[in-house]
Chains A and B, each alone.
Chain A
Amino acid sequence: MSKEVNNIVLSAMSGDRDAYGMLYEKYALDMYRFALGICKNTYDAQDAVQETAVAVFKSMHSLRNPDKFKSYLFSALSNTCKKVLSKNNYIVEFEDTGYTDSEIEFSIPVREALDKLNDISKEIVLLSVVGGFKSHEIGKIMDLPSGTVRTKLRRALAQLRKELE
């Protein structure tokens, strides 16, 4: 994380709403993409992002190391997504939200390829591709040994590549 971001995290940690806004803006799209990948529909994904964004702001003061902000954010998001998923344990297809599919959805082949992965591999891929995390960070977020993450990631990416090429 660059120093500038670090500064802003520190401000947000002390309750600066605007600073948090800037942070949110920086990560919002990646959060949404991640949530879309995990949740099965746009409503849930949006819910998860919103809930996470609010909850993380409220708990910012408990963040110890500003460097960790992004990991913190995505662990929270990952948990929220799972909560949302278990709450709405029925399948809702992408409903009309006033946007066309192409605006809100990943390209269909990617979506299908992703859905072929198991939940753990899918989350690892999303954290890596969308979140930009390194395998040991993913390990921390998902409570897996980093070696396992690397292995699963490698496999999953190979599989996705095969599907998509």
Chain B
Amino acid sequence: MSRKTNDFLDKKMQVKLPENLSKDNILNSIDNSKAEVIEISKKKNVTKKLVPMVASLLLVVGLVGMYFGMGLGDKKAPVQNNTSDITDVMSYQSYDKIYERFDKLHKEYEKNYFWDVFLYADEEIMEEDAVADDAVAGNNAAPESSPGNMNNGSTITETTTNKDFGTTNTQEKDVDEGDIIKTDGNYLYIANADNSSISIVDVTGEKMVEASQIDLKDNESVREIYINGNKLVVVGHLQTEHRTENNENYKVYDSLAYVEWDTVVKVYDISDRNAPKLINEYSQQGGYNNSRMIGTKLYAISIYRVNVYNDDYRNACIPEITVDDGACKRIPADCISVIESSESTTYAVITTLDISKKVEPESSAILGECGNLYASSKGLFLCESAQDEKYQEITKIYRFEYTDSGVRHAAEGKVNGYINNQFSMSYDGEYFRIATTFNKVTVDGDSVSMNVEDRVNNLYILNNSLQIVGKVEDMAKGELIKSVRFVGNMAYVVTFRQTDPLFVIDLSNPEKPTVKGELKIPGFSEYLHPITENLLVGVGQDGTMIGTNGDCKVSLFDVSNPYEPKESSVLKVSGGNAYCYSPVANNHKTYITLSDNEFAVPFSIDYYVNNGQINPSGDYYIRYKLTADGLCEVARLRVGDNGSQIMGATYVENTFYVVNNCYENRTYVKAYDLTTNKEIDSIQTAEWRKG
């Protein structure tokens, strides 16, 4: 029905473009608007590769695909998921079933050429990988919680230091997350804003000194880094450009390239910080989505979309891994899990690399849409929103087990509603907990409707087969989940519409989770951080009904009595005089734990009227301290003006380091003395460089 109506309306809405909006006029206004010159990106160097247009990307992949068969045979028997009622995920010994599926899809698409269906079907997944470049560091200062030496026993040499320094604020203590800044107490490791270099900065002396810089290749870019002993791991994108010829539509641009985004992992030996050595690298097809590191194992996930239009789709429809020596390997058939009910042409490719050894990565993939990652040391989960046959929103969950070599699919399940972010999930090895917001949809004949009042929030507990064993449903009618934190056997859920109810849910009986207490206060928290056993810090928006146009606040929630949670302190950031925003809302890694009772939160503050405030508009890190009387503000570090962006921060001993990206991709590292709260040093680690 809608397609027809769309076309009908489209016809009725035809107009002519007025002359003043003609291309030439717009280009003139661009010229006259004194646009800052945007320089040619370094990454734009077109690879001198001439591939006929027909072939473009997929032929290359296809040729490479002739390595078909390599890597087969050394894998364990396929895992058939029979733990769940709905056996929707299968893996096979050969690629035949996968070919069948793509044969069918290719035919359908040929018949029904809606190019946008193909292109945009997976955009929500791709969105994930665009988010990954915000990042940061610092938390859980205690060195014993450093993820480097947890798990698996295969630890690698640690450079020992007695220094107190920041580690990345991760969701799970024993699962490291990539960031753009890492430190080991002696050096800072920074992924620069130009995306093509990593700086190692010596902070042992009085002044920061750049010890070395790793320059990536022209077609590589860094998204996140990991530090594990003497290994530096870079996770990023690899651009493969394929030139096209005979491009009839745009003859002028026929020398330009079609770009394919793959994910690259590079491991450097940094025993000598002045001269990092590349010791291992590989790439996997598909744009970078997310990664985790547990012990010495790196798990990297990319999202690979198969182009079913291309006649060469059969060669492209199995994702490949390219290792160090340039050899391409298709992921073995028995390592590919196929979601039978899905018609998706998208894979989530998961590679596992033991960075302590010079080995090739283990790879597996799941064919079907799933791009949201949660990982604990006990299991890895991918999930995705979908609609069931009754048009209800559901989240499909796929559980993966860690094996000696990599991961393998173990179970699947689904719950009603959609998740907020990775913090909406938790797994303790036995039970998987997930909190969702569910928009109930009413279907009446041909019409489907939704009433905001019918929106509810749910929490589900699932067993290892991903069957629901316990649940709390219909919390906070009409509201949305804004943040969730699972701490031990408790779940804290913040929902919002006009006020901020904080729900305290006891999960100790998995079959009967119960809401113990509820607290209603203005505003809402977008990030919850457990600071002690009974105290939670909430960072979020202050209470107004105009959404993000308000102030920010930092609250301290006392949950010692779960039946009666209290907001024991609330500190407002601007007092209502400014538009505030905290990067923590989207990037939990920018929350920095300085010590057991001190932390720092970044804010961007834009005063409505600049009438000589002591602190003008700009970016701040605000330090908070937990005292016997509650939470108090210690200091405001003004770390940037309006032209910069806080990317991350960490600390070593008594010095706080902030990474700022400024205009034209310059990266600055600023150092602040935590006693005086004054800026004491600053260096520029990357500058926009012409290609």
Contacts and interface: CB of A to CB of B under 8 A. Distances in A.
Interface of A: 1-4, 6-8, 10-11, 13-15, 17-22, 24-25, 28-29, 32-33, 36-37, 42, 46, 49-50, 53-54, 57-58, 60-61, 64-68, 71, 97, 99, 103-107, 109-110, 125, 128-130, 132-134, 136-137, 140, 145-148, 150-151, 153-155, 157-158, 160-161, 164
Given A136-B124, A160-B5, A54 B18 contact: no
B130 A107 contact: no
Nearest to A133: B120
B244 A7 contact: yes
Interface of B: 1-2, 5-6, 8-10, 12-18, 20-27, 29-31, 33, 35-41, 44, 56-57, 115-117, 119-120, 123-124, 126-127, 130, 133, 244, 247, 249-250, 252-253, 256-259, 287, 385, 387, 391, 393, 418, 439, 441, 447-450
Contact of B21 (A20, A46, A106): A46
A3 B448 contact: no
Contacts of A13: 41
B44 A7 contact: no
B301 to A, nearest CB: 17
Contact of A50 (B26, B126, B258): B26
B126 A145 contact: no
B23 A150 contact: no
B5, B14, B117, B258, most chain A CB atoms within 10 A:
B5
A153 B387 CA distance: 16
Given A8-B256, A17-B30, A110-B9, 8 more contacts: A7-B253, A24-B27, A50-B26, A50-B29, A64-B130, A65-B130, A146-B124, A147-B393
A107 B12 CA distance: 6
A11 B17 contact: no
Return the 4 tightest CB-CB contacts between A and B, nearest first: A15-B38, A7-B256, A110-B12, A157-B5
B26 A54 contact: yes
A57 B5 contact: no
B588 to A, nearest CB: 20
14 contacts: A10-B44, A14-B41, A21-B24, A21-B26, A22-B253, A24-B27, A37-B13, A54-B29, A65-B126, A106-B12, A109-B12, A110-B12, A134-B117, A158-B1
B114 to A, nearest CB: 10
A157 B446 CA distance: 12
Given A7-B250, A145-B393, A157-B5, A58 B33 contact: yes
Contacts, number: 194
B2 A147 contact: no
A6 B20 contact: no
B166 to A, nearest CB: 27
B193 to A, nearest CB: 11
A110 B12 CA distance: 7
A105 B15 CA distance: 6
B15 A103 contact: yes
B450 A148 contact: yes
Given A25-B23, A57-B35, A136 B123 contact: yes
B608 to A, nearest CB: 16
B449 A106 contact: no
Contacts of B44: 10, 14
A19 B250 CA distance: 10
Contacts of B35: 54, 57-58
Contacts of B120: 133-134, 136-137
B16 A3 contact: no
Q: Is the interface of A mostly helix, strand, loop or mixed?
A: helix
B21 A61 contact: no
B9 A4 contact: no
B636 to A, nearest CB: 28
Contacts of B2: 128, 153-154, 157
A145 B439 contact: yes
Contacts of A19: 253
Nearest to A161: B5
A14 B385 CA distance: 35
A147 B15 contact: no
A129 B249 contact: no
B6 A129 contact: yes
A39 to B, nearest CB: 13
Nearest to A22: B250
Contacts of A134: 116-117, 120
B447 A67 contact: no
A66 B418 CA distance: 27
A141 to B, nearest CB: 11
A66 B259 contact: yes
B243 to A, nearest CB: 9
Nearest to B33: A54
B565 to A, nearest CB: 28
A132 B114 CA distance: 11
- Most B-side CB within 10 Å, residue of A65, A97, A125: A65
Contact of B119 (A1, A10, A103, A140): A1
B27 A21 contact: yes
Contact of B56 (A3, A128, A137): A3
Contact of B124 (A14, A140, A155): A140
A160 B110 CA distance: 32
A4 B259 contact: no
Given A2-B115, A7-B253, A58 B36 contact: yes
B652 to A, nearest CB: 31
The CB with the most chain B CB atoms within 10 A, among A4, A66, A106, A153, is that of: A4
Contacts of B38: 14-15, 58, 60-61
Contacts of A49: 21
B523 to A, nearest CB: 19
Nearest to B307: A3
Contacts of A157: 1-2, 5-6, 9
Contact of B387 (A106, A109, A147, A154): A147
Contacts of B17: 28-29, 32
Contacts of B8: 161, 164
Nearest to A153: B2
B41 A46 contact: no
Nearest to A55: B33
Given A24-B23, A32-B15, A65-B130, A18 B258 contact: no
A105 B247 CA distance: 36
B450 A147 contact: yes
B373 to A, nearest CB: 19
B257 A10 contact: yes
B249 A4 contact: yes
B258 A148 contact: no
Nearest to B32: A54
Contacts of A20: 27, 30
B251 to A, nearest CB: 10
A58 B26 CA distance: 13
A54 B33 CA distance: 8
A28 B20 CA distance: 11
A99 B115 CA distance: 35
B133 A14 contact: no
A33 B33 contact: no
A54 B439 CA distance: 38
A92 to B, nearest CB: 16
A133 B117 CA distance: 10
Nearest to B665: A61
A145 B116 CA distance: 20
B361 to A, nearest CB: 25
A154 B448 CA distance: 7
Contact of A140 (B9, B24, B123): B123
B34 to A, nearest CB: 10
